[in-house]
Amino acid sequence: MNKKTVETKSNIAAGLLALFLGGLGIHKFYLGYTTPGIVMLLVSLFGAILLFIPTFVIGVIAFIEAILYLTKNPEDFHSEYVENEKHWF
């Protein structure tokens, strides 16, 4: 039987990355979510074309995710965001 190996990720590290670099999607890359990370990065970078409104929205999403990551206990965080791969909120 082939079992998927799940790497341990820190909710504190993910939360701090979301808080300080979340607008660029860095916390998504840390958690292994490449596609959502690229989406956040591109929306932030190209948000200048639309007067930074998309960049602001991505920043708000990252801030909310930072709060969620930092307030979860490590077991719940690991279960929800690492094992079950919940990409958004």
pLDDT in tens, 43-74: 999 998 898 999 999 999 999 999 999 999 99
How many whole angstroms separate alpha carbon 10 and alpha carbon 14?
6
- Structural domain includes residue 43: yes
- Structural domain includes residue 57: yes
- Structural domain includes residue 46: yes
Q: What's the token pair of residue 21?
A: 């670099």
How many whole angstroms separate alpha carbon 36 and alpha carbon 53?
18
Q: How many domains does the chain have?
A: 1
Model confidence at 2: pLDDT above 60: no
- Structural domain includes residue 3: no
Model confidence at 89: pLDDT above 80: no
What pLDDT was estimated at residue 4?
Answer: 56
Taking residues 15-40, report their average pLDDT: 96
By residue range, what is the domain housing residue 40? 11-83
- Structural domain includes residue 6: no
Question: In which region does residue 85 sit, left (phi positive, over 0), alpha (psi from -120 to 50) or beta (all else)?
Answer: left
- Structural domain includes residue 45: yes
